Amino acid sequence: MSVRFAAALAILAAVAAAPLAAPAVAGPAFPNASRALAPSFEEDASLKTDIDGDWRPPADKARDVSRHPLESLTFWGLQPGMTIVDVQPGGGWWTEILAPYAAQTAGHYVYGYAPAGPAPDAKARERQAASRQRFTEKFSDPRFGQIGDIDFTSSEDVAAHKDSVDFLLVARFFHDWATSEGETDRYLSAFFRVLKPGGILAVEQHRAPQGADPKAGTGWVPESYVIDAAKKAGFVLEAKSEINANPLDTRDYPFGVWTLPPTRQSAKDGHDDPSFNHARYDRIGESDRMTLRFRKP
């Protein structure tokens, strides 16, 4: 890790920990290039090794049958040596695969911070800092390499990382941004800025029927909502795939998409209702999802 990169990470960590601090101004953290690495769309033996890695918990591996990581990442065009941004990685299901892959292939794995909703208050910032700390601890093993950060809520940080990213993944987060006016457009514009020319925007998202309200808060959004927003930001839709389609998903559940696995919500307050019958929803499996590949011209 460069001294400049280490300093940038330290600044971002301090900002997350300080409730009322101003956004960090980070220096360029990743190698820049005139154009992104060209994908081959061929299966990668190194990637398969990381998907099969014994560091992945059995429960996460069990989801491969629904999330198709090898097929999805091959479709999106992941390549060795890429700088990869994983937007709002949550508990790190994709991180378990992408971080070691980047570390082994002379690439970079980057945590992309792009939360939904209004600017966080002091308590929200504390929760975010604690969540980021748990993520850091979980992925502190050297096999995951040095994990970088981009704060997409900071225009200064976005500007500092302009044209520096090969591959940016948004997995199941458009439904959160859609409920706040202008948020999807704001983030897609930022993603466009940090991607190199030729860079890939990879999307996996719960899919609503055409014409459904993306602001409904159910977890599903129409494919056209994502496509139109990405095109508005300047992206070109390069390909669609039905890798992650699920025709059994009827989208008529008491707690939206979160009624289905893996969340399996059974009560409005988020607590478990022992009397709730999960059988129907478990038979459906995970949601029907769009799988899209966009490119920055």
Query: Pairing between strand 108-113 and 148-151?
Result: parallel
- What is the chain's percent helix, strand, coil content, to nearest 5? 40, 15, 45
Answer yes or no: is 284 within a domain. Answer: no
Answer yes or no: is 143 within a domain. Answer: yes
What is the model's pLDDT at position 278?
97
Answer yes or no: is 106 within a domain. Answer: yes
Q: Give 278-281's long-range contacts (Cβ < 8 A, gap of 24+).
A: 281/253
pLDDT tens-digit series, residues 12-26: 333 333 332 333 333
Answer yes or no: is 276 within a domain. Answer: no
> By residue range, what is the domain housing residue 77?
3-251+289-295
CATH number of 237's domain: 3.40.50.150
Structural domain tally of the chain?
1
Answer yes or no: is 109 within a domain. Answer: yes
pLDDT tens-digit series, residues 195-215: 999 999 999 999 999 999 999
pLDDT tens-digit series, residues 87-115: 999 999 999 999 999 999 999 999 999 99
Answer yes or no: is 277 within a domain. Answer: no
Nearest to 208 by CA among 250, 265, 254: 250
- pTM for the whole structure: 0.88
Answer yes or no: is 183 within a domain. Answer: yes
Answer yes or no: is 214 within a domain. Answer: yes
Collapsing DSSP to helix, strand or coil, 143 comes out as helix
Q: How many residues does the chain have?
A: 297
